[in-house]
């Protein structure tokens, strides 16, 4: 596969349908009234392993040869891709090694261990995760399962766009705007490809933490921009240093632009989602909803799709956010 097409996403869905959940697409009257729009939240926080990442991991791993499966896989991740790769590898009886930062949320580390992976910790300030992963792959002859810059991964993530499109079509709804959380760009590259195919007039927007808005800036300057090394954010799932080459190439053709939100805005949104929709979203999973609720874009009288991409948040951190906002 040299380019991503809707048909490749259809094929990916056929491969992984038994491994994933068709997550709800819901609307909420309180939020609709607040923003004066018809908003539809795609709840990938309710997906197996707690995020959309299982879609891409399933599509990639399911296509490995028996020989590749016997040698095992290795991946680097801040936590959600880690859990997905470990979970799917366990289903296929594949040995997995995950390179994960020491400061990743404990819930993500513990779940990755629970799914049977061998964990290799690294220091985000001093170590290069790609280098560590490449060394393990070379030494142990393992296949690298990249988190986003791989067309099979992107096609797998694109299956969430297929689900959204089919449900909207079934209800005769034409979306105007799609807001999607963005780190390396795989989720929005895949899902926006499918949505743009079905709804050519839709405007797709990547949403990022304000100090990790590399896709927003890259789209603006038509060239890949790297985040500052000193940048920090609570959105641990979205801290890719720069867009992927493949993801950025796709996003240049499918996106209308990028938006960014602050950590404090994200915290308030996590509480608002819990209060109104009764869901738990992790910081990275809540950025698209944050852009909506803080008026980063005009949505008046529009049909808006909002991605909730994950819900893997440490309980202690969630409690601290609740206390801050009481």
- Burial of 84-108, coded b for 16+ CB within 10 Å and e otherwise, reads bbbbbbeeeebbbbbbbbeebbebb
Residue 302 known to be catalytic = no
Contacts of 181 (CB under 8 A, 6+ apart): 187, 188, 207, 208, 237, 238, 284, 285, 286, 287, 288, 307, 309, 310
What is the per-residue pLDDT across 1-21, written as a single tens digit (0 to 9) for each?
A: 458 999 999 999 999 999 999
pLDDT of residue 118: 95
pLDDT of residue 1: 45
* Mean local confidence (pLDDT), 116-134: 91
Confidence class of residue 229 from pLDDT cuts 50, 70 and 90? confident
Strand pairing class (38-43; 25-26): antiparallel
Q: What is the dihedral sign for C-alpha 147, 149, 150, 154?
A: positive
Percent of the chain with pLDDT over 90: 94
What is the spatial distance between Cα 185 and Cα 217, in angstroms, rounded to a whole number? 13
Q: Helices 151-170 & 186-198, crossing angle to 10 degrees?
A: 40
Contact, 161 vs 193, CB < 8 A?
yes
* Mean local confidence (pLDDT), 145-164: 97
What is the spatial distance between Cα 278 and Cα 274, in angstroms, rounded to a whole number? 4
Choose, from 51, 77, 78, 89, the residue flagged as catalytic: 78
Secondary structure letter of residue 119 according to DSSP: E
What is the per-residue pLDDT across 176-192, written as a single tens digit (0 to 9) for each?
A: 999 999 999 999 999 99
**Statement: residue 124 has pLDDT above 90:** no
Q: Helices 151-170 & 6-16, crossing angle to 10 degrees?
A: 90
Residue 228 known to be catalytic = no
Mean pLDDT score of the chain: 96
What is the spatial distance between Cα 213 and Cα 216, in angstroms, rounded to a whole number? 5
Percent of the chain with pLDDT over 70: 99
Q: CATH number for the 54-144 domain, one of 3.40.190.290, 3.40.50.300, 3.40.50.360, 3.40.50.1100?
A: 3.40.50.1100
Distances (CA, A) of 270 to 135, 261, 286, 311, 325: 38, 13, 6, 10, 10
Choose, from 53, 108, 162, 203, the residue flagged as catalytic: 53
Sheet holding 73-76, edge to edge: 118-122, 96-101, 73-76, 143-144
Contact, 154 vs 148, CB < 8 A?
yes
What is the per-residue pLDDT across 58-114, written as a single tens digit (0 to 9) for each?
A: 999 999 999 999 999 999 998 899 999 999 999 999 999 999 999 889 999 999 999
pLDDT of residue 2: 54
**What stretch(es) of the chain map to CATH 3.40.50.1100?**
6-51+150-324, 54-144
Class of domain 6-51+150-324: alpha beta
What is the per-residue pLDDT across 286-320, written as a single tens digit (0 to 9) for each?
A: 999 999 999 999 999 999 999 999 999 999 999 99
């Amino acid at each position: 596969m040299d380019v991503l097409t809707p048909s490749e996403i259809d094929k990916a869905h056929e491969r992984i349908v038994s491994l994933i959940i068709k997550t709800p697409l819901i609307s909420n009257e309180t939020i609709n009234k607040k923003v004066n729009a018809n908003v539809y939240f795609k709840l990938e926080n309710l997906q197996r392993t707690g995020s959309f990442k299982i879609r891409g991991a399933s599509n990639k791993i399911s296509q490995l040869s028996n020989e590749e499966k016997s040698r095992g896989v290795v991946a680097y991740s801040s936590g959600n891709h880690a859990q997905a790769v470990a979970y799917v590898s366990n289903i296929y009886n594949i040995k997995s090694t995950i390179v994960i930062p020491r400061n990743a949320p404990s819930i993500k580390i513990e779940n990755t261990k629970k799914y049977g992976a061998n964990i290799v910790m690294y220091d985000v300030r001093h170590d290069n995760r790609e280098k560590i992963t490449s060394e393990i792959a070379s030494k142990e002859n393992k296949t690298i399962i990249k988190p986003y810059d791989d067309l099979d991964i992107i096609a797998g993530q694109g299956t969430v766009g297929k689900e959204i499109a089919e449900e909207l079509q079934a209800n005769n709804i034409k979306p105007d705007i799609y807001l999607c959380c963005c780190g390396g760009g795989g989720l929005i590259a895949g899902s926006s490809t499918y949505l743009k195919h079905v709804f050519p007039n839709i405007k797709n927007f990547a949403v990022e933490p304000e100090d990790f808005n590399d896709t927003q800036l890259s789209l603006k300057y038509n060239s890949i921009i790297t985040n500052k090394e000193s940048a920090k954010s609570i959105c641990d799932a979205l801290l890719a240093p720069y867009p992927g080459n493949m993801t950025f190439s796709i996003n240049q053709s499918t996106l209308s632009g990028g938006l960014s939100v602050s950590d404090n805005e994200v915290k308030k949104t996590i509480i608002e989602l819990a209060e109104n929709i009764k869901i738990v979203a992790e910081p990275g999973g809540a950025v698209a909803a944050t852009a909506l609720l803080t008026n980063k874009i005009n949505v008046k009288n529009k049909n808006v799709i909002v991605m909730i991409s994950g819900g893997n948040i440490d309980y202690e951190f969630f409690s601290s956010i609740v206390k801050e906002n009481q």
